[in-house]
Structure 1
Amino acid sequence: MPRENNRIYKKTLASSESLEKNVNFFCEIGKVYSGKIKYLTDLGYGEKNGANGLSNEEVQQVLNHHLMDRSTPQSLLKRVFFYNAILLGSRGGEHFYLMAEDFKKCEGGGYDVLIYRSKTNQRVEIGNRGKADKLILPNNSDIIEVYEKYLSYRPQLSEPNFYLQECDEQNGEQI
């Protein structure tokens, strides 16, 4: 494939037309890539079976585990993190950019959550976060109870981040 691309590229550069005006270059290169992808797929390469999500039984098994029972701050945090991953679809760095103010209580009892997606917004900053998707956490008593309990534990003058750093209670310092 690189040799074919190189041949087409050199042929295009040798012509007097600029790349912007030479539509044929992009059509030809597209055909080469398309053919190569089909060839590799026929050989058995590629993503045939995408990532398998968790089944309902697996989700229940995780939620019923003793480390997710909401009895301690750590287990509550783990449960909220799991809910954010499952219900909001948060991945990797998207958890970092969640802010407490992004969770707005609805009149119907659920939460509206503003999500700033990392794939479409690479410049996510605290002050300038761009456009957001609005997702709705369902009005399920178990789910809402967990979020309300978690948000109620936030100190009043804390950082805006949704996930806060643990403090050492004896010394009042961050761990």
Structure 2
Amino acid sequence: MDAKKCSVWMFLPIVFSVFTAAGLWIVYFIAVEDDKIYPLNLANRKSRSKPPPYISIAGDEPPASCVFSQVMNMAAFLELIIAVLRFIQLKPKVLNPWLNISGLAALCLASFGMSLLGNFQLSNDEEIHNVGTAMAFGFGTLACWVHSALTFKLNIKNEGRKAGIPRLVLSAAITLCVLLCILLHA
């Protein structure tokens, strides 16, 4: 990869992923430290006085809820920026713009869902929190599939297969995880 041809914006998805994951781990550690949830490595869980370490439960009460809201709002904003930049990047290259527009719409709706789930805690408004969760994961997964298809279809700089296959595998893994989560909760 030629450093002169690289844009600084290409690191935005990596920054988005790393900082969102780090922020959610901070929320988890705050909730464990405040004795609101079980730690992940707790061997004996016979006492049911505290809930399991779901991130929505971990970010349910202050101070963890404040950090959770901030992390989700920042992640939603970064996701929105990534969506617009990706749309602009692909706009001159697509012949039928409906796939690119649907990718932008899916990421924008996923971003809005992240903002909803971060700002409406589970105990305060469970319905809106769950709608936000469904939007974030549902439209986020859809956006992954759309951008996998766009990668194969456009083949920018002859990297369609090199970039498309990992995107396809990640999209399938995300879909599998979302479906598994839905099945386990049902």
| TM-score bracket, shorter-length normalisation | under 0.3
The TM-score normalised by the length of structure 2 is 0.22
Give the helix-richer structure, 1 or 2.
2
Rg larger for: 1
